[in-house]
Amino acid sequence: MGIFDFFKRKEPNVENNNQILLINKINNQQNPSQSLVPFLGKFLIPENIRQLLWFGDGKYKNYSPENDQKILFENELFRVTFSFQTEPSLIFTGLPVDYNTNADNVEKLGYYPSYGQLNPRQRFIYLKWLCDITKPVDIGYVFIYYYGLERHLVSGKYSDAVNTILTLRQHHKHPSFLSYSANALVLSAILYKDKDTLIKVLDLIDDISYCSNVSILGKFLMHLDLTAGEIISISTVVGFTNKKYIKDYPDLFQKTLESNLMKEFGKNSYPIYQLKMQYPSQHIMSFANISFDQDIRSPILPDLMHSPEFSSSIHTLLTTTHSDVKQSLMEMRKSGSAPQPKSAEPDNAGPKPECPYCHNLLDKIPPSKKKCPSCNKIIIVRTDPVEKKKILLREDQIEEFEKRLQEIRNHKTIQRILSYLNADSTQFDQTKENLKLKSGKEPTDNEVVLKIINQIGYRHFKNLDMGLFRNTILYRGDVFKSSGDLHNALISYLELCYIDLNGPNNCGSSKNYPEILKEYPPFNPNNSVDAFLAPGILDYINKISEELNLTKDQVKELFFTHNLKVETARKLPLSVQDAWVKLESAILLE
């Protein structure tokens, strides 16, 4: 699969589902077969499963497009309004089913499947599977049923849908399904302000490392604590990168973290709801149902995980715990009671590692760089970015490995950003073609995504959605950083700090109301909630500046040279000089 082949997945035109169903029905009536019969009454679908299906006709009819009205959910932090198109899981009972189907010869489902687009053989597989949803099946069939369950989460049998989705999660471990369903379950519990279901869902999500923006948002709103395991799982997000002890001594690290939480809060968990936070907003992919508007599938939600106060607090906890674990290990080693690090544990499941030079077998993979006992050459130890396993390299292979590693990181960054921006294949391909026509040469993927970022950023700025506009500056910096263009990454992050210190707000819904805009302007540097410096971005600036061997004066020159243009172009209320005064103390350079 090419780097952007995942964009070639064509979403069906859900507005035309009824037309597709009708055409299929007519075609099959014109080509009768004894094996093709309506399904109603032919399958023993359990009542708890049947009641969550959506029917467009027959005695179980429970769906009509006229009933798809807008539904508003709101709480103290955000509001979401749901609107719908035709349900992709919608069943018409008159559509034929091929009872002579051999499952081995049935065509595979494509992306974004719907019941109306299935052929008679595929309908047989789907309806037979509904008789026992715990049975293995192509994940596309699971998604068809799941689409309808998501609709119930928003507008239907909410509790029954929650329980059924949890059952599906136990038996179908596809990564996309697990990711979508986890976020949808958590967000729906937030929307209904259903604390009991949120606790149940978080307890039953079987990935212990699951801790997303949505789950943190739920815990904040429902006054639930973060566990030590959840804190460790988000260590990278808050800028904590020294994970030596987390990886080698996970039990000791978690026990020490719980002890530090007990000292700080009187319990071995973190009461996030007690924290007063400033936070950005972010598109967060939450629903899979393709009949939901794209802005609802990826609603704009508070991004508490990137709150400066939250990031700083968690980073301090982890740093303190790291130091405490280091001290404990020193004392244990003196007494001879230190546990063996995970990296030193032998891997008896696979073959013994071999030296990349002489190919003689080693007793175990060394934890770090080491000389081969046979040929005396330096063996370099790295982690394969795809397989996530330790690999042994020659010194002359390091440059190629680092290049490959950067390409993979850049690829993942581009995927993530285009997902945040809701950019589809048409937009990507059209942008690429326009750049090619303009320059006369094939543009790189980075050039295409940067163009899309700038286009979307311009629209957000014109619409007075300055919080979303600032996100596009962050994405631009991330693209430069992941591709190794540290100079432009630094400039982008410095611009982001300047924008953040001006207090960006999303005011698109108020742009036609001058009185509201006067009270709540697009930029407000005097509002301490909106004007902030993100610790993660400051960390990027300091690390990149060190890598580029820049002094603080040189960073200051870059900040002024670039942002004086930004100040004029964006008509920002806070001057570059005043912004630098606020930023200067956070630049940890000589």
Question: Per-residue pLDDT for 30 more than 60?
Answer: no
CA-wise closest residue to 302 among 281, 283, 316, 323: 281
pLDDT at 514: 83
Question: Per-residue pLDDT for 21 more than 90?
Answer: no
Lowest mean pLDDT among 65-69, 190-194, 261-265, 327-331: 65-69
3-state secondary structure of 37: strand
Q: Which is more confident, 514 or 23?
A: 514
How is residue 523 annotated by DSSP?
B
Question: Per-residue pLDDT for 404 more than 70?
Answer: yes
The angle that helices 445-462 and 398-420 make with each other, rounded to 10 degrees, is 30
Q: Is 70 exposed, middle or buried (0-12, 13-18, 19+ CB in 10 A)?
A: exposed
Angle ∠(252,257,258) on CA atoms, nearest 5: 100
Phi/psi-derived region of residue 532, left when phi > 0, alpha when psi is between -120 and 50, beta in every other case: beta
Q: Is 214 exposed, middle or buried (0-12, 13-18, 19+ CB in 10 A)?
A: buried
The rounded distance, in Å, linking the Cα atoms of 235 and 314 is: 8
Phi and psi at residue 523, to the nearest 5°? -125, 130
Confidence grade of residue 535 (pLDDT, cut at 50, 70, 90): confident
Question: Per-residue pLDDT for 388 more than 80?
Answer: no
Radius of gyration of the chain (CA): 27
Angle ∠(351,344,359) on CA atoms, nearest 5: 40
Q: What is the mean pLDDT of residues 454-472?
A: 91
Cβ burial 352-382 (10 Å sphere, 16+ → b, else e): ebebbbeeeebeebbeeeeebeeeeeebbbe
How is residue 79 annotated by DSSP?
E
Domain boundaries of the chain, sorted by first residue: 17-172, 353-404, 424-584
Question: Per-residue pLDDT for 308 more than 50?
Answer: yes
The rounded distance, in Å, linking the Cα atoms of 100 and 123 is: 12
Q: What percent of the chain has pLDDT over 90?
A: 47
Contacts 24+ apart (CB under 8 A), 198-202: 198/222, 198/224, 199/224, 200/162, 201/162, 201/166
Question: Per-residue pLDDT for 238 more than 90?
Answer: no
Helices (H), 336-465: 398-420, 425-439, 445-462
Lowest mean pLDDT among 63-77, 221-235, 375-389: 63-77
Q: What is the mean pLDDT of residues 553-576?
A: 95
Phi and psi at residue 283, to the nearest 5°? -70, 125
Q: What is the mean pLDDT of residues 40-68?
A: 84
Instruction: Give the torsion sign (CA, 203, 205, 207, 213).
Output: negative
Beta strand pairing call for 378-383 and 370-371: antiparallel
The rounded distance, in Å, linking the Cα atoms of 427 and 433 is: 10
The rounded distance, in Å, linking the Cα atoms of 29 and 44 is: 25
